[in-house]
């Protein structure tokens, strides 16, 4: 049974902590994108949706209490549609699309909303209560390593220099700034109304509303020199800095996957279809190298060669791993992250897979190209890759 992606949107991405979306809860962000999808397809009723699948890497606190189901309730304004939370760390938002796709292919549904959301503003990296297994921690501590340390390990093992990392980061910002300037992401983005309740200087309660519709990560005026001045943050004498790592962010992105029957019933316009999706495990010490194993698997499943791919979104968790993956697989830099990546645009963990998918659809369309690939490294030593074909 054929499946089609018939809609895809994302919020603009806010910087975590001090950014514009720190006043917006993740459930609201996700619901906002889903409401937009429904508004764009007025003939579809909520009751026709079979499931809402929400990717999330830290499903606790504001993202806890079964956020998948809550987002379904809030986004569709109906009690009839179920929802689930899916966690494969940084590929969660791509994983959910693959799950939706397989369910429909197997006749387990005909219309599913899938994507992901992450608000890193209110939640500590890794969650609020980190309790590793003592025995495992002693025997295999790297299973629990912070991602930054694995990025250092990748830089060492694959001999990625500090200079190369900073240069990569610089270009990410330049591409992203240009995209912002050109309005490249306009078709991706659902404007989010942000409301802040606060006390003014004299202690009076005030409210302030604004519309957030542009990615705020790209840094104007950054330079290779400025990036070179930053101190390594994960290892003494290391090369990975806050400047050549992805930004922590807030954001949501969702797509709608439909069966052929649904496309016909509502005269939907298919955008793309998922051709393949593969995940793979690697040594957790060099987590960032995950795509090197996942990408060939996805290509093989699709029966395609790397040359067939027209555009690649490789999540820039760290410049070190992005460069190492590019070199190991011989990826073509010309078609890689053409509008910048997570170093400039941010990496809202569980949302990223869906966000990059939405971005690649619009860029492929603009270029009138066929195949696009979204890939990322995934925590605790994994890689994921999905291939889409434009329709």
Partner 1 sequence: MSKRRIKKVAVLGSGVMGSRIACHFANIGLEVLLLDIVPRELNEKEKAKGASIEDKSVRNRIVNEAFSTAIKSKPAPLYSKSYTNRVSLGNFDDDLEKVAHCDWVIEVVVERLDIKKVVFEKVEKYRKEGSIISSNTSGIPIELMLEGRSEDFQKNFLGTHFFNPPRYLELLEIIPSSKTDASLVDFLLDYGRKYLGKKTVLAKDTPAFIANRIGVFSIMSLFHTVKEMNLSVEEVDKLTGPILGRPKSATFRTCDVVGLDTLIHVANGVRENCPDDERKSSFEIPAYVQKMADNGWLGSKSQQGFYKKIKGEDGKSQILSLDLNTLEYSAQEKVKFDSIGKAREIDDIKERTRVLVNHPDKGGEFYRKSFYELFSYVSYRLPEISDELFRIDDGVRAGFGWQLGPFESWDALGLKETLDKMKEAGADVAAWIQEMVDAGHESFYKVEKGVKHYYDVSSKSYLPIPGTEDLVVLDNLREEHTIWKNKGTTIIDLGDGILNLEFHSKMNTIGAETIQGINKAIDLAEKEYDGLVIYNTGGNFSAGANVGMIFMMAVEQEYDELSFAIKQFQNTMMRVRYSSIPVVVATHQMALGGGCELSMHADKVIAHAETYMGLVEFGVGVIPGGGGSKEFALRLSDGLKEGDIRINAFRERFLTIGQAQVATSGKEAFEMGYLRDGIDEVIVSRELQLTRAKKATIELVEKGYTQPIERTDIKVLGQEALGIVYVGANTMKSGNYISEHDQLISEKLGYVLAGGDLSERTEVSERYLLDLERKAFVELCMKRKTLERLQSIVSKGKVLRN
Nearest CB to partner 1, comparing residues 197 and 199: 199
User: Quick check: 128 binds partner 1 (CB under 8 A)?
Assistant: yes
Mapped onto helix, strand or coil, the DSSP state of residue 358 is helix
- Per the listing, tokens 């969650």 go with 127
Which window, 11-19, 125-133, 242-250, 340-348, contacts partner 1 (CB under 8 A)? 125-133
Smallest distance, Å, CB 145 to partner 1?
A: 6
DSSP type of residue 126: T
> By the 8 A CB rule, do 97 and 387 touch?
no
The pair of structure tokens assigned to 137 is: 């921690």
Sign, Cα dihedral of 222, 223, 224, 225: negative
User: Quick check: 131 binds partner 1 (CB under 8 A)?
Assistant: yes
Smallest distance, Å, CB 32 to partner 1?
A: 30
User: Quick check: 141 binds partner 1 (CB under 8 A)?
Assistant: yes
Closest among 183, 173, 220, 184 to 346, alpha carbons compared = 173
Strand 371-378 vs strand 382-390: parallel, antiparallel, or unpaired? antiparallel
351 in catalytic set: no
36 in catalytic set: no
Q: Which residues of 122-142 are buried (b: 16+ CB within 10 A; e: fewer)?
A: bbeeeeeeeeeeeeeeeeeeb
DSSP E strands, 158-226: 189-190, 192-199, 205-212
Of residues 50, 95, 152, 316, which one binds partner 1 by CB under 8 A?
Answer: 152
User: Quick check: 144 binds partner 1 (CB under 8 A)?
Assistant: yes
Establish how many alpha carbons lie within 13 A of residue 279's alpha carbon, considering only the half-sphere containing its beta carbon.
19
Of residues 19, 238, 346, 350, which one binds partner 1 by CB under 8 A?
Answer: 238
Full DSSP string of 61-88: GGGTTTHHHHHHHHHH--SSS-EEEE-B
User: Quick check: 134 binds partner 1 (CB under 8 A)?
Assistant: yes
Smallest distance, Å, CB 289 to partner 1?
A: 17
Of residues 79, 107, 130, 205, which one binds partner 1 by CB under 8 A?
Answer: 130
User: Quick check: 59 binds partner 1 (CB under 8 A)?
Assistant: no
User: Quick check: 137 binds partner 1 (CB under 8 A)?
Assistant: yes
Nearest CB to partner 1, comparing residues 210 and 223: 223
User: Quick check: 237 binds partner 1 (CB under 8 A)?
Assistant: yes
Of residues 133, 193, 210, 223, which one binds partner 1 by CB under 8 A?
Answer: 133
* Catalytically annotated residues: 90, 347, 377
Binding site for partner 1 (CB under 8 A): 128-134, 136-138, 141-142, 144-146, 149, 152-153, 234-238
């Amino acid at each position: 049974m054929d499946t089609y992606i018939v809609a895809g949107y994302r919020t603009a991405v806010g910087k975590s902590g001090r950014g514009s979306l720190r006043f917006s809860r993740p459930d609201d962000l996700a619901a906002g994108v889903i409401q937009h999808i429904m508004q764009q397809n007025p003939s579809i009723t909520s009751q026709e949706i079979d499931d809402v699948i929400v990717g999330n890497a830290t499903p606790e606190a504001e993202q806890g209490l079964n956020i998948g189901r809550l987002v379904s309730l809030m986004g569709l304004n109906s009690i009839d549609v179920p929802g689930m939370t899916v966690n494969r760390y940084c590929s969660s938002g791509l994983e959910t699309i693959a799950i939706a796709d397989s369910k429909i292919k197997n006749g387990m549904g005909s219309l599913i909303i899938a994507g992901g959301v992450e608000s890193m503003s209110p939640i500590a990296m890794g969650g609020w209560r980190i309790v590793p297994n003592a025995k495992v921690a002693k025997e295999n501590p790297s299973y629990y390593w912070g991602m930054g340390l694995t990025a250092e390990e990748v830089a060492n093992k694959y001999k990625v220099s500090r200079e190369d990392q900073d240069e990569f980061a610089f270009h990410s910002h330049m591409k992203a700034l240009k995209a912002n300037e050109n309005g490249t992401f306009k078709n991706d983005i659902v404007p989010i109304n942000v409301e802040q309740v606060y006390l003014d200087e004299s202690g009076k309660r005030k409210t302030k509303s604004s519309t957030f519709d542009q990615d705020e990560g790209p840094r104007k005026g950054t330079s290779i020199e400025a990036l070179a001045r930053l101190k390594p943050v994960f290892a003494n004498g290391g090369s990975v800095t806050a400047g050549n790592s992805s930004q922590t962010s807030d954001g949501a992105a969702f797509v709608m996957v439909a069966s052929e029957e649904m496309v016909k019933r509502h005269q939907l316009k298919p955008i793309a279809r998922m051709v393949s999706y593969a995940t793979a495990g690697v040594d957790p010490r060099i987590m960032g190298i995950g795509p090197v194993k996942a990408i060939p698997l996805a290509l093989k499943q699709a029966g395609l060669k790397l040359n067939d791919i027209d555009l690649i979104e490789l999540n820039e968790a760290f410049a070190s791993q992005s460069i190492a993956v590019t070199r190991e697989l011989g990826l073509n830099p010309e078609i890689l992250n053409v509008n910048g990546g997570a170093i400039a645009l941010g990496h809202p963990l569980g949302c990223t897979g869906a966000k990059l998918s939405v971005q690649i659809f619009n860029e492929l369309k603009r270029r009138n190209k066929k195949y696009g690939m979204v890939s990322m490294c995934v925590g605790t030593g994994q890689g994921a890759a999905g291939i889409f074909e434009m329709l």
